[in-house]
A and B are shown apart, each in its own frame.
Chain A
Amino acid sequence: MNTWTIMIYELRRLFSSRSMILNMFLLPLLLIFLLGASLSGVVGDKGSTTIDVVRVAVVNLSGEGYESSAMMDSFLKSTELKDIITPVMVGSREAAESGLRTGKYGYAVVVPPGFDSKVQSGEAAQLEFILGQKSTDNRVAGTVFDNFLRNLNYKQSVAMTLGPEALNVMAPSSTSNEPSVKLGELSEGGYSYTSSQFYAVSMMLMFLLYSGLTVCTSLFNEKENHTLFRINSMPVKGSELFIGKMLGVGVVSIVQCAAIIILTNVLFGVNWGNRPGLLLLFCLLMIVASMTLSIVISMFSKTGASARSVVTVLTVSMTFISGGMAPLPESWVNSIGAFTINHWAMQAILKMMLHADVSQIMPNLGVLSLICLVLFSAAAISYRKVGYHG
């Protein structure tokens, strides 16, 4: 009963603070709106883009005693290319350049004389590319021919280091009807997240981590007001007091989380994915992780100010390292970012937004649950060791 009383009064005190309402409810919405609107070009896209087939002028030169490249001819005839590029054989470089200027071609490639024999004699395979007017066309056609060159150079290096027989061994896979690369979609539904979605997730997680600040404030205010001393002199068990206070902060964090999700959905049209149950679970785990981490910090801090400083630094650092403030390189996010709490929740919620399969989300759930378990144990041990006294 005392736990309930303490929780109710904790809630009353928290909700009567204007600064807390401002920090917990208005600030996240403002940040999501500002970041989502201003960085919409940096994160995700606003819809699917159709890539047109690119007309490519191919100048397959002969001369100096060499025939035109059979390898290129063979490559251009492959069926996989027909949906990506349309090769047009052109007699000269000038004709290709003229076509690029008029927009007749989107891209041009010049095959130097003796290309095949140079490749067979072990020299590096090289082509000359002439860019067209559209960056998308350049990127698409450039990727196609880059892959062609890379494949040739790879086979060449295999033959040189392992001998020509190695190429025969490789042959079945390359000549098989099965494509060597299986095309698919990262998300089953083919969705992509917008900048508003990205920042809604990252800011919500950052502010859930910030609920640790409320824990520090709540625990230390009671000491600094000397009310903890009075409560300790009353027939209230230490655990009742502590659990009551933590439940109060937890409820506020849940309300904050729900408010961010509902209001961003209503105001900014943020789609939080198709798994509300899992979303709630991840949010609860984040709240538990944040609160237990702050309990550990509070137990070993001498003043409320020092505890709040540590929590703030950790929250901002973890949000940044996990890529929550600005998208960071994938390698960074998956290596260093993996040491942060919010990384696991953020990646999972983004996957939910992409309507990904549950099997892709479960590993994150496992890791986050483990983090919570470790932090919860650490908080329980610290509480037993240090206690909460006035």
Chain B
Amino acid sequence: MAIAVLTDVVKRYEGKLTVDHVNMTIEEGEIFGLLGPNGAGKSTTISMICGLLKIDGGDILIDGLPVSSKSLEVKKRIGLVPEELALYDTMTAADNVTFFGRLYGLRGKLLKERVDEALAFTGLSDRAKEKPSTFSGGMKRRLNIACAIMHRPKLIIMDEPTVGIDPQSRNHILESVKELNRLGSTIIYTSHYMEEVAAICDRVAIMDKGHIIACGTEKELRERVAKEEKIVIKAANITPELVQELTLHPRIRRVEAKDEVVELYLPSSQGELQDILFIFAKHKGIIGSLNIEEPDLETLFLNLTGRTLRD
């Protein structure tokens, strides 16, 4: 059963389309990744799903309810973890969670139980009485999550929840996401970190310039670029002439040279490796290492847009 259905969703800012006829269905119980570079329209799409922005065209249904007319009902079913930390520095961690819990309608014993549960889930029980101003970046991120999950929402939306934190906290958050999913919540996870999305998401939609340019499981997406291989060569003495000759090779689709690394995209390395090595030898390029890599989501994005996710 679908928990979120987006049909021809449109959003305009000053006459410009920032979300352009987006269609997307998110099934109950899955972790759905929304991948795209900054400015792709991910946050705008999420804001519309949460009822924070007016939808200019199309329709969004959450748990069968239209966001545009049943906004308050929809909001009860959603827990949003915003990209920016949204916490009160003057209140303790427990007070922060309690305040937001009250706004979700929790009261009394149930509220206390849920606050304790959320703090325990994010590993902050022992810091409950401390103010976020004394927390590390990772702990603040975890508290940011605790404030969004204490009401056990059906749909949790996490907007870039790992921005600017250490690897340990990042792993903790990624594990938490999987655990929340195991406990029954559907997760929409946005990021421009391809590895994160690939690691935890069941399905991924790739967004660029307001469009969904690809959507499916990681396997399905990989298959779309399976016909292409990437050869990464680390070498010394990479001259412009060497790069030029590689570019002119009829079987090589694209060449990217940066410092002492050359990346080559071609349908198959078989049969072409000899030519490549010959060109390097001809221009006195000294090869240190050579790897043939399988295509990933980054490759797919590059393939579809001609740009990298972090451009």
Contacts and interface: CB of A to CB of B under 8 A. Distances in A.
Interface of A: 1-2, 5-6, 9, 12-13, 16-17, 225-227, 229-237, 389-390
Contacts of A389: 52
A236 B102 CA distance: 10
Contact of B50 (A5, A16, A233, A237): A233
B235 interface: no
A6 B100 CA distance: 10
B199 interface: no
B75 A235 contact: yes
Interface of B: 50-52, 72-73, 75-76, 78, 80, 82, 84-91, 95, 99-100, 102-105, 147-148
A234 B100 contact: yes
Nearest to A236: B103
Given A225-B87, A226-B85, A227-B86, A233 B102 contact: no
Contacts of A229: 52, 82, 84, 86
Contacts of B104: 234-235
B144 to A, nearest CB: 9
Contacts of B82: 226, 229-230, 233
A230 B75 contact: no
Given A233-B52, A235-B76, A17 B147 contact: no
Contacts of B87: 225, 227
B264 to A, nearest CB: 44
Contacts, number: 63
A216 to B, nearest CB: 17
A2 B103 contact: yes
B80 A233 contact: yes
A237 B100 contact: no
A229 to B, nearest CB: 6
Contact of B103 (A12, A16, A231, A390): A231
Nearest to B81: A230
Given A225-B86, A229-B86, A233-B78, 17 more contacts: A1-B105, A2-B103, A6-B103, A12-B91, A16-B91, A17-B90, A226-B82, A226-B86, A229-B52, A229-B82, A229-B84, A230-B82, A233-B50, A233-B52, A233-B75, A235-B76, A390-B52
Contacts of A13: 88, 90-91
Nearest to A234: B103
Given A9-B99, A230-B80, A225 B88 contact: yes
Contacts of A227: 86-88
B174 to A, nearest CB: 22
> Which 6 pairs across A and B sit closest by C-beta, in order of nearness?
A230-B86, A226-B84, A226-B86, A233-B80, A235-B75, A233-B50
Contact of A235 (B85, B95, B103, B147): B103
B52 A16 contact: no
A235 B73 CA distance: 7
A234 B75 contact: yes
Contacts of B103: 2, 5-6, 231, 234-236
A81 B85 CA distance: 81
Nearest to B85: A226
Nearest to A390: B52
* Residue from B105, B147, B148 whose CB has the most chain A CB atoms within 10 Å: B105
A381 to B, nearest CB: 20
A9 B95 CA distance: 9
A230 B100 contact: yes
16 contacts: A2-B102, A16-B90, A226-B82, A229-B82, A230-B147, A230-B148, A231-B100, A231-B103, A233-B50, A233-B78, A234-B104, A235-B73, A235-B75, A235-B76, A235-B103, A236-B103
Contacts of A16: 90-91
Nearest to B148: A230
A389 B52 CA distance: 9
A313 B76 CA distance: 43
Nearest to A4: B102
Contacts of B99: 5, 9
Q: Which of B73, B76, B84 has the most CB of A within 10 A?
A: B84
A196 B110 CA distance: 54
A300 B265 CA distance: 53
